[in-house]
Amino acid sequence: MREHVENRAEYLAAEMLLKGSGLNMVKAATLALELVRRCGGSRCSMRRARKAIELGAEELKNGEQTVSFAAAVDETLKVKCGRRPATLRDIRYFTGALMRRCPELKNFPVRKLTPQHCSRFLESAFSSGRQRYKARAVMSGVLSLSLRRGWCRENPLLRVDAPSFREQVIAILAPEEIKCLRRVAESPGFRDCAPAVWIMMYAGIRPGEVARLQWRDVDLEERVISVRPLASKTGGARHVTVQPVLGRLLAEHGVQDGSRPLCPPSWPLRWRQFRKEAGWGSGGRFGAWRPDVLRHTYASYHAKWFRDFPLLQMEMGHRSSALLRARYLNMEGVSRERAALFWEVPEREELHG
């Protein structure tokens, strides 16, 4: 009788606890039994069970905290608003193309994206390996930001292999082509363009970076050119060695006031005119100008003459040697003799004659 009364009291107490929860005694018992089984069966203590409930609730809350891919893209653009226009343009282009060509991605919760989803979206949106490679990098940036914001548990693209593609071999400048560029640089009509051309040729600095350099970035005493974060394509600072040939050319030209831009006004137009005068472009003897050919020429001649890959990698601003080896080094026809000619310091009379 006493046991019956105690059981009745426990039943009524349990019923009171469940009141308003939406659970009846059977449902509550079923959940409790499942919890006990998952936490070690008969060995499960109340403390362990409560810990399991706490962790499960926290995980459920985190799982529900997410945003759509489109919202993650908007946040990425806000965070990177201070980056260069070209960087923002790439983010908009590749994410826009992904969402246009794969409409379901736009409102897809970033927490639910899997490596399989990401791989399928990239393959559906882009046909070339190079575009998939770039799109993967942009999409990975969006998901890395989402991870930092707590909108997803991982960046699934880290488990997706980078698309493979064959880098196009860019032929470097031949001695005759270099001679024509030097001739135009030393002519009165294009003397204002000469420092930028020499720095691209003999320091391997990118055209876009040269356009953002100032004369204060050129230190002939220390024999370095400082590519500041705001001027760098990748956002990282680096120093590039001023080799003797470049030092002589810049010294003969004369270093200008420190705050002045290194490139002349209307630089894109002047650079096109310079190349046309040297023999490139429609009707020119050398045909179409090859983008980044000066940087490729610098890298190949540097590797051949100095034979110092770690130094070249640092001066090119690459995080690893993989890109350098795959894309920038075209050693075909590059002899030690040609490399010596490239790095040869001109005599003073050659500069004015």
In a domain, 165, yes or no: no
Contacts of 330 (CB under 8 A, 6+ apart): 169, 170, 171, 172, 296, 300
State whether 107 and 26 are in the same domain: no
Task: Tell whether 127 and 275 lie within a shared domain.
Answer: no
SS (H, E, C) 222-291: CCEEEECCCCCCCCCCEEEECCHHHHHHHHHHCCCCCCCECCCCCHHHHHHHHHHHHCCCCCCCCCCCCC
pTM, two decimals, is: 0.65
Q: Are residues 338 and 215 in the same domain?
A: yes
327 in any annotated domain: yes
In a domain, 170, yes or no: no
Are 229 and 252 found together in one domain? yes
Picking from 158, 185, 200, the residue at the C-terminal end of a domain is 158
**Tens digit of pLDDT at every position of the chain (353 positions):** 555 555 667 667 666 766 766 667 777 677 667 767 777 766 667 777 777 677 766 666 666 689 999 999 999 999 999 887 888 999 999 999 999 999 999 999 999 999 999 999 999 999 888 899 999 999 999 999 999 999 998 999 999 988 776 666 678 899 999 999 999 999 999 999 999 999 999 999 998 899 999 999 999 999 999 999 888 877 778 999 999 999 999 998 887 777 899 999 999 999 999 999 999 998 889 999 988 899 999 999 998 999 888 898 899 888 777 666 666 666 777 889 999 999 998 765 454 44
Same domain, 265 and 133: no
Looking at the structure, tell me whether residues 8 and 39 fall in a common domain: yes
47 with 82, same domain: the answer is: no
Identify whether 164 is part of a domain. Answer: no
pLDDT in tens, 249-297: 999 888 777 789 999 999 999 999 999 999 999 888 999 998 889 999 9
Residue 323, domain extent? 175-352
Q: How many domains does the chain have?
A: 3
